Amino acid sequence: MDSKHTFTCTLSSGTNIACIKYWGKKSVALNTPINSSVSVTLDQKDLKTVTTVVASKSFEKNRLWLNGTEEDVTNSKRFNACVDGVRRMGGERRGEGKEVLVEKGGWGDYKVHVSSMNTFPTAAGLASSAAGYSALVKCLAEVFCASESYPGELSTIARQGSGSACRSLQGGFVAWRMGSKADGSDSMAEQVCNENHWPEMRAVILVISDLKKDTSSTEGMGTSVDTSELLGFRAREGGVVDRRMELIEKAYKERDFEAFGKVTMQDSNQFHATCLDTYPPIFYMNDTSKSVIKIVHAYNAWKGRVAAAYTFDAGPNAVIYCLDDVVDEVLALMLQYYPGRRLDGRYVRDGEAWGRARGAKLDEGLLRECDKKGRRRGIRGDVKMVYVTKSGPGPIVMDDGESLIDLKTGLNR
C-alpha cells in the first residue's frame, strides 16, 4: 500500500435500547421516521462493535468484513450512503509536521476497507445495527477528518445506515428528533443527558434468543406503516409519542424512575401492539418474553412502586431497566425463574453481579406473588445469557494496535 496516502482509525461504539420506540419510516429513501424516539446508550464493557476503517488511494473498491466474513457492498445502499456521506464532509488532513496531506474536499480518490466485529449476537434484537453503523460513521469521520457544519450532521448520515444508529453517536440518554425538512437534514440525534447524569441506571438484558430474527425491523415497519391504523394513531402529530417524549425526557432529567419506568413499559407494549395490529401480524415477543413482563409487574406490585421496567425491541430479548439499589434483587429474581442451561459465570456476563445475586435471598412473599401471577416453571435454557450493564458513552477511539485490518496488506486480519 502507498503509505503516504493511507489513513486509518479503529474505534468502538455501543448499542442503544429505546424507551420510546422508532417504528415506521416517513421516507424510505432518506430513512426518516414517522415519530421521534429516545434511548439509553449502553456501556461498552460487554456489548460493543469494534470497527477499523482504512482509506487508501491504492484500494480498487470499497470492501467490508463483518465478523471476519467479507460481504459484497457494491450495491449496499446503506453502506455506500454512509461512506459517500461522510466523504463529502471530509476536511483537511495534516501530517505530524503539520504539512497538508489531503486538502479539504480532496477525498474523492480514496476507497475504504472496513472491518467490523460485534461482541454480541448479531441481529438477535440487541440493536447490533445501531452499534455497527454508529461505529462505521464515526470511524469514517475520523479518517476523513470530517467536520459538522451544524451539530448533529454526522447523525443524519448514521441514520441512513440504520435509523437507531444515529442515537449511538452520543452517550447517555439520546433523542432522535424526527425533523420536518424535506431533505432529512434535521432528522438527527440530540443528547438529552450524558452518561454521568444518572449513574445509578442499570440494564439487565436477558438474551432469550440469539438467532437472527425472522422479520427484520426494516421489513416489519414497512408493513406496519402500510397496514396498522394503531401506528398512525400512535405517531400522529401531538399524539401519543409526542406526549411521551416530553414526559420521559423530564423524568430522565429529574431522575424520576417511577415516571421513566412506567412510560418505558407502556411504549414497549404499544410498539408490540402495533406489531400485532400489522396485517399480517408480526410477533416479536415469545412466551418467555411475556412471562418476564408478568414477573416485572409482580415485582413492582410487591415493591409498591415501579422499581423495574422492561422493554423489548424487534425480537424476544428483554431489557430490564432498574436502579443499582435493586439490581441484585432483580437479577436474583430473574435467575430464580430463568436459571440458565449452565450455572456458571458464563451465563451471567458480569462476574460481580453474578456473585452478589447468588448471595441474595429473595423474599418469600415476592416469590409467592410471582408464582401467583402465572409464571410457568423456570425452564433451563429459556434464557441463553444475561448481561448486567449501565448507560455509557458514545464511540471511543482506540489505538492503531487494536486494528482489525493488517495495515501492511490492507486486508482483514
Applying CB under 6 A, the residues found at the interface with ligand DP6 are 18, 21-23, 31, 37, 127, 129, 162-164, 217-218, 313-314
Of residues 140 and 282, the one with the C-beta less far from ligand DP6: 282
Closest by CA position to 43, among listed 218, 158, 202, 213 = 202
User: Which residues lie across from 206 on neighbouring strands?
Assistant: 318, 386
- Identity of the residue, 37 or 41, whose beta carbon is nearer to ligand DP6 in the bound complex: 37
Nearer to ligand DP6, 22 or 59 (CB): 22
Cell of 163: 435509523
Q: Which phi and psi angles does 99 have, rounded to 5°?
A: -70, 145
Partnered with residue 32 across adjacent β-strands are 27
User: How far are the Cα atoms of 52, 256, 405, 409 from residue 412, in angstroms, in the given order?
Assistant: 9, 46, 4, 9
Closer Cβ to ligand DP6, 56 or 164, answer by number: 164
CB of 25 or CB of 375, closer to ligand DP6: 25
Spatial separation of the C-alpha atoms in residues 153 and 217, rounded to whole Å: 24
Amino acid type, 270:
Q
CB of 130 to ligand DP6, least distance (A): 6
**Nearer Cβ to ligand DP6 (12/37):** 37
Give the residue closest to ligand DP6 by C-beta: 163
Instruction: Report, in Å, the least distance between residue 42 CB and ligand DP6.
Output: 12
Shortest approach of ligand DP6 to residue 19 CB, angstroms? 9
Q: How far is the CB of 159 from ligand DP6 (least distance, A)?
A: 7
For ligand DP6, which is the closer residue by CB, 55 or 178?
Answer: 178
For the CB of residue 8, give the shortest distance to ligand DP6 in the complex, in Å.
Answer: 27
Instruction: Quote the CA–CA distance of 27 and 224 in Å, as a whole number.
Output: 14
Q: How far is the CB of 3 from ligand DP6 (least distance, A)?
A: 36
Minimum Å gap between C-beta 101 and ligand DP6 is 34
Half-sphere exposure (Cβ direction) of 11: Cα atoms closer than 13 Å: 24
| Burial (Cβ within 10 Å: 0-12, 13-18, ≥19) of residue 369 | middle
**Angstrom distance (rounded) from CA 35 to CA 350:** 35
Instruction: Compare residues 158 and 327 and give the one whose CB is closer to ligand DP6.
Output: 158
Q: 29 — phi, psi (to 5°)? A: -60, -40
Q: How far is the CB of 34 from ligand DP6 (least distance, A)?
A: 12
The residue type found at 245 is M
Minimum CB distance to ligand DP6, residue 209 (Å): 15
Question: In whole angstroms, what is the distance from residue 401 CA to residue 24 CA?
Answer: 41
Between 90 and 161, whose beta carbon lies closer to ligand DP6?
Answer: 161
Q: How far is the CB of 75 from ligand DP6 (least distance, A)?
A: 17
Measured from the CB atom, the residue of 101 and 273 that comes closer to ligand DP6 is: 273
Residue 45 makes CB contacts below 8 A (sequence gap 6+) with: 389, 392
